Amino acid sequence: MPRGCDRLSGSQVTGVNRSRGTMLTMTTTSLKASTSGLLGNRLTRHGTPVILWASGLLLVTGLLLGYGLEDSPIRSALLALPLILWLFVLSFFRNPQRPAPVGDLPICPADGKIIVVEDVDDEVYVEEPAVRIQIFLSVFNVHVNRSPVHG
């Protein structure tokens, strides 16, 4: 394992199964890859600028939407909308810690659903035959992608 690496991420399905579209997910990352976020949840540091801009924009939007309206269900809904969007932004940039699987296995670099596993003749990246694995990430999946293969 490379120096400075100890945190793991990904789903805990074991092995690669082409028929079911599942693959073990784990990776190691630098200790500085995340910061403590809302209620102690870990957030990726790469999301910090987006989180700060979204926080400011949603705060101003909430104030403008709620300003001058009487106390009503419409005002409550308008004030709740920026809060819900802000929680979604925080959720998008979460960086959960995951336990390491046992063994020396290929590990998926992202959460999501494997949609294609195919053999390809790749001349651009690896310049030899390879296995391409395509992973679909919905907006509700953890969007931290890593390179889990050593070397």
CB 25 within 8 A of CB 135: no
- Residue 140 or 3, more confident: 140
**Domains of the chain: total:** 2
Indicate whether 70 and 33 sit together in one domain.
no
Indicate whether 72 and 140 sit together in one domain.
no
Least confident of 40-44, 56-60, 73-77, 108-112: 40-44
The length of the chain is 151
Indicate whether 102 and 148 sit together in one domain.
yes
Q: Which residue has the tokens 């995951």?
A: 98
Indicate whether 81 and 104 sit together in one domain.
no
Indicate whether 105 and 124 sit together in one domain.
yes
Question: How many Cβ atoms sit within 10 Å of the Cβ of residue 55?
Answer: 14
Q: Are strands 128-136 and 113-122 parallel, antiparallel or unpaired?
A: antiparallel
**Using CA atoms, how far apart are residues 127 and 122, in angstroms rounded to an integer?**
5
Indicate whether 83 and 106 sit together in one domain.
no
Is the entire prediction scored with pTM above 0.75? Answer: no
Which structural domain range is residue 53 located in? 46-93
Indicate whether 101 and 135 sit together in one domain.
yes
Which residue, among 2, 7, 4, has the nearest Cα to 97 in the 3D structure? 7
